[in-house]
Amino acid sequence: MTTWHADDTTLARYAGGTIDDAAAASIEAHLIACEPCRMAVSAQVVPARLDRMWAGVLDEVDAPTPGPIERGLAAVGVRPHVARLLAATPSLRLSWLAAQAVALGTAVVAAEATAGRGADVGLFLFLVVAALLPVLGVAVAYGPGSDPAYEVGVAAPMRGIRLVTIRATAVLAASAVLAGVAAVAAPSLGWIAAAWLLPSLGLTTATLALSTAVRPIMAAGAVTGAWLIVTSVTAVRAADRLAAFRGTAQVLFVVLTFVSLWVLTRRRHTFERGVMP
Amino acid sequence: MSVPTVQVIGVEKRFLRTTALQGVTFDAAAGITGLLGPNGAGKTTLLRMLATVLAPDTGELRLLGWDPGNAEERLAIRRRLGYMPQEPGFHRNFTTFEFVDYVAILKEMVERRARHDEVRRVLSLVGLEDVAGRKIKNLSGGMRRRVALAQALLGDPDLLVLDEPTAGLDPAQRLRFREIVSERAEARTVILSTHQTEDVAALCPRVVVMDEGRALFDGTPAELAGIASGRVWLAAERAADAHLSWRAGDGRHRHIGTAPSGADLVEPTVEDGYLLLVGRRALEAEEAA
């Protein structure tokens, strides 16, 4: 049985949360064994503070454990509420990322198989696919038909352009990581394995810019079609099969990126209203 | 009527060759206003405008005193708006809690604990706190409607726009819905659409009947029923010249229109007034749906 008791001032500081950690630990240990002090401290606890603490405990216990996408995003420093917005992005689901990885893996195998034989068909295929995957990802990241809660989102105060930008950036980053890993897995490709980056940026921003006039899926379809035609024609007609990925073309994709961003900025208000489902 | 919080003035909307709304005009104030009409009447198009999702081609809208055509004012409206679409979509891999939390983030509730408290509050309101951790894809259709209602109630909005909120609910769920909405409507504006006259009779002090993109009637449910006053009859046989006629549960035929021989005049209901107003097209639309 305990023979000493905490004085009222100490108990008041403990109850008010103003005591230091070491003293608080000592008081807690004493309270377990001392009923008179427990009675004394309970009279000094401010109910509002107790409610706040209980709400905090409840929140920690009740809040659902985030899924793998949200945990992964949190691990790289993404704030929890942004991670939740991204977890609702169809093209950031594990199944979509796995499909991307398979497509890139196939392209890498083809590139490796033809590397060093004077034929660069495999490399060409890898670059075309790597540039295109973010376009498709961005197309299904937002909008009617791909975002099930699209209509609720349009009526919410968060700006449509902000949600689009957050999701498009995340999709681009995820695609870049996957394509980067694929390029590293095929060292024989050399620096040109990164030549899809600027075309991809140009095509993705062009898709977003077109999405201000038509549905994202239609915009992506148009951009994809144009990309396949341009790369196929240059591959057949130009002396260099990879002409669409060389210096001059890279400059054009930078220009396309800036023009598309300008259009997107000018027409960002179109994301604030819905379309007929 | 008290100060209108919703003003719809001569609103028109076309989609390609289809005219969805043709000069609709009405006001609504605090309380519940029901939009009643057959499928294809234009209710959903009008509600999407009231939810700031669609803009009218012509005409004017004022919501909570603001113009939704102005970007800043539209943002102010959205901060005080709750919207339940006719076919609310869900991220099916989210749990109930995660989905409502996701919408709360879209509603600018960034601070985690306050947001989670609000999510718990609305889930409790619709009686879904026990399935907060369950995946939405594993919920019944009725429970999903309640999830949709819960997200609309986030932030205790001043304007609640509900499109066919009772569709797919069983009688007990419908009763619970009426309790929730009528409690909210005491100081707020609720606009809901339905094609079920029981909802209007049970919930709405005010009803606007729509058909083919027009507002045909604007008044109380009693006034809507009154349209059919002196024109509803019960008779043993079906009358060939009745405006509408069907066999009721007691085996007698209920007629709306002129009196068949030997018929008894009866008190009209809201449904009688609605059917007299909208006519056979309502029945055809119901059968087609």
- Rounded Cα gap, residues A50 and A48, in angstroms: 5
3 state SS of B9: strand
What DSSP element (H or E) covers B197?
helix B197-203
Q: What is the pLDDT of residue A262?
A: 95
Q: With CB atoms and an 8 Å threshold, state whether B51 touches A157.
A: no
Shortest distance, CA A12 to any CA of chain B (angstroms)? 27
Question: Are A27 and A14 within 8 A, CB to CB?
Answer: yes
Q: Which residue of A has its CA nearest to B162?
A: A152
Q: Which residues in chain B are contacts of A154 at CB distance < 8 A? A: 52-53
Percent of chain B beyond pLDDT 90? Answer: 44
* B55 CB-near residues (< 8 Å, 6+ apart): A273, B49, B68, B69
Q: Do the Cβ atoms of B266 and B234 come closer than 8 Å?
A: yes
CB-CB neighbours of A28 under 10 Å: 10
Report, as an integer, the average pLDDT of B254-272.
83
Contact A274/B at CB under 8 A: yes
Highest mean pLDDT (candidates A178-192, B73-87, B234-248): B73-87
B45-64 residues touching A, CB cutoff 8 A: 48, 51-55
Average predicted confidence (pLDDT) for chain B: 87
Given CB atoms, is A94 within the 8 Å cutoff of chain B?
no
Confidence band of B96 (pLDDT split at 50, 70, 90): very high
| Nearest-angstrom CA–CA distance, B96 and B144 | 9
Q: What is the pLDDT of residue A277?
A: 43
Q: Smallest Cα–Cα separation from B261: which of B280, B240, B246, B243?
A: B240
Q: Check residue A275 and give its pLDDT.
A: 62
- For tokens 């594993």, the residue is B138
Assign B269 to helix, strand or coil: coil
In this predicted structure, what is the pLDDT of residue A117?
60
Residue in B44, B50, B53 to test binding to A, most A beta-carbons within 10 Å: B53
Which of A79, A81, A159 would you mutate first to test chain B, the one with the most B CBs within 10 A? A81
Report B:90-119 residues touching A (Cβ under 8 A): 90-95, 97-99, 101-103, 105-108, 110, 112-113, 115-117
Does ipTM top 0.90?
Answer: no
Segment B13-62, tens digit of pLDDT: 998 888 889 989 999 999 999 999 988 889 999 999 999 999 999 999 99
Q: Is the dihedral of CA B171, B174, B180, B183 positive or negative?
A: negative
- What are the backbone angles phi and psi of residue A276, rounded to the nearest 5°? -65, 135
Here the tokens at position B55 are 């803009």
Which residues in chain A land under pLDDT 70?
A: 1-2, 62, 115-119, 188-189, 275-277
Q: What pLDDT, on a 0 to 100 scale, did the predictor assign at position B286?
A: 53
Question: DSSP assignment of A45-68, as one string?
Answer: --HHHHHHHHHHHHHHHHSPPP-H
Please count the other Cβ atoms lying within 10 Å of the Cβ belonging to residue B286: 11
Q: Where are the beta strands (DSSP E) in B181-239?
A: 189-194, 206-211, 214-219, 232-235
Strand pairing class (B264-265; B232-235) = antiparallel
Give the closest-approach CA distance of B63 to chain A in angstroms: 13
A63/B103 CB distance under 8 A: no
Q: Which residue has the higher pLDDT, B107 or B283?
A: B107
Q: Token pair for residue B63?
A: 């919501």
A88 Cβ under 8 Å from any chain B Cβ: yes
DSSP 8-state code for residue A270: G
Q: Please measure the distance between the N-terminal and C-terminal CA atoms of chain A and give it in whole angstroms.
A: 73
With b for 16 or more beta-carbon neighbours within 10 A and e for fewer, the A63-96 pattern comes to beebbebbebbeeeebeebbbbbbbbbbbbbeeb
- B164 vs B284: which has the higher pLDDT: B164
CB B249, CB B233: distance < 8 Å: no
Nearest residue on chain B to A160, alpha-carbon basis: B106
Q: Which residues of chain B neighbour A277 with C-beta distances below 8 Å?
A: 87
CA-nearest residue of chain A to B14? Answer: A276
pTM of the model: 0.82
Task: Select from B2, B52, B48 the least CA-distant residue to B21.
Answer: B48
Residue B236 CA to residue B251 CA, distance in Å, equals 8
User: Cβ neighbours of residue B99 under 8 Å, at least 6 residues apart?
Assistant: A149, B90, B91, B136, B147, B151
CB contact under 8 A, A156 and B103: yes
Residue B101 to residue B89: CA distance in whole angstroms: 15
Question: Of the ranges A159-163, A238-242, B181-185, B230-234, which one carries the lowest mean pLDDT score?
Answer: A238-242
Whether residue B101 and residue A84 make contact (CB cut-off 8 A), yes or no, is yes
Side chain identity, residue A248:
T
- Main-chain phi, psi angles of B223, to 5 degrees: -65, -35
Confirm if A13 and A24 have CB atoms less than 8 A apart. Answer: no
A153 lies within 8 A of chain B by CB: yes
B59-70 tens-digit pLDDT: 999 999 999 999
Percent of chain B surpassing pLDDT 70: 95
Count the helix, strand and coil residues of chain A and give each as a percent rounded to the nearest 5: 75, 0, 25
